[in-house]
């Protein structure tokens, strides 16, 4: 490689690529270590439909469902397990419910036409009432599929 065949008599120079490949491999290893292997996301809890639809259990008192109901031209109405609750009474009621529970799980069910800011407000109220896990109910889950 360092020899030239001919009578030109000049020196022949070539680029040494080995250090560039070494740097490239080191950078590749650094990026592989930096990028997380497992994707991070939010934990989502959804109620599971019963395995046997014929043997439906009665409504369990342990399950708390907060409903956000759409009212045209007004602020939405709120319910806790089919009991109407004012927005101002929502946090004290949830605090009372979860004060003596070990399992602090709440589900939120919102109408299709409700703005998500009202759902986010109920999530914040649930967190303020020391609820550990909050799940969102969708129409597909409600249908039992």
Confidence of residue 137 (pLDDT cuts 50, 70, 90): confident
Axis crossing angle, helix 90-98 with helix 116-128, rounded to the nearest 10: 40
pTM score of the predicted model: 0.56
Q: What is the mean predicted confidence (pLDDT) over 125-139?
A: 86
Domain containing 135 equals: 64-143
Distance CA 130, CA 95 (A): 7
CATH number of the domain that residue 74 is part of: 3.30.420.270
Whether residue 85 is contained in a domain is answered as yes
Q: Which of 28-42, 73-87, 122-136 has the lowest mean pLDDT?
A: 28-42
Whether residue 52 is contained in a domain is answered as no
The tens digit of pLDDT for each residue in 54-98 reads: 554 444 567 888 999 888 888 899 999 888 999 898 999 998 888
Residues with Cβ within 8 Å of 123's Cβ and at least 6 positions away in sequence, in order, are: 108, 134
Whether residue 43 is contained in a domain is answered as no
Q: In the chain, how many domains are there?
A: 1
Mean pLDDT of the chain: 79
């Amino acid at each position: 490689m360092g020899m030239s065949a001919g009578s030109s008599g000049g020196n022949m120079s070539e680029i040494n690529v080995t250090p560039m490949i070494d740097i490239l491999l080191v950078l590749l290893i650094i990026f592989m270590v930096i990028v997380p292997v497992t994707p991070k996301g939010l934990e989502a809890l959804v109620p599971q439909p019963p395995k046997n639809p014929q043997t439906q259990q009665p409504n369990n008192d342990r399950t708390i469902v907060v409903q956000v109901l759409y009212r045209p031209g007004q602020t939405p109405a709120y319910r806790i397990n089919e009991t109407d609750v004012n927005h101002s009474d929502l946090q004290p009621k949830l605090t009372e419910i979860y004060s003596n529970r070990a399992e602090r799980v709440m589900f939120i069910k919102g109408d299709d036409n409700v703005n998500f800011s009202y759902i986010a407000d109920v999530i914040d109220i649930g967190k303020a009432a020391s609820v550990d896990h909050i799940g969102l109910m969708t129409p597909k889950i409600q249908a039992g599929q």
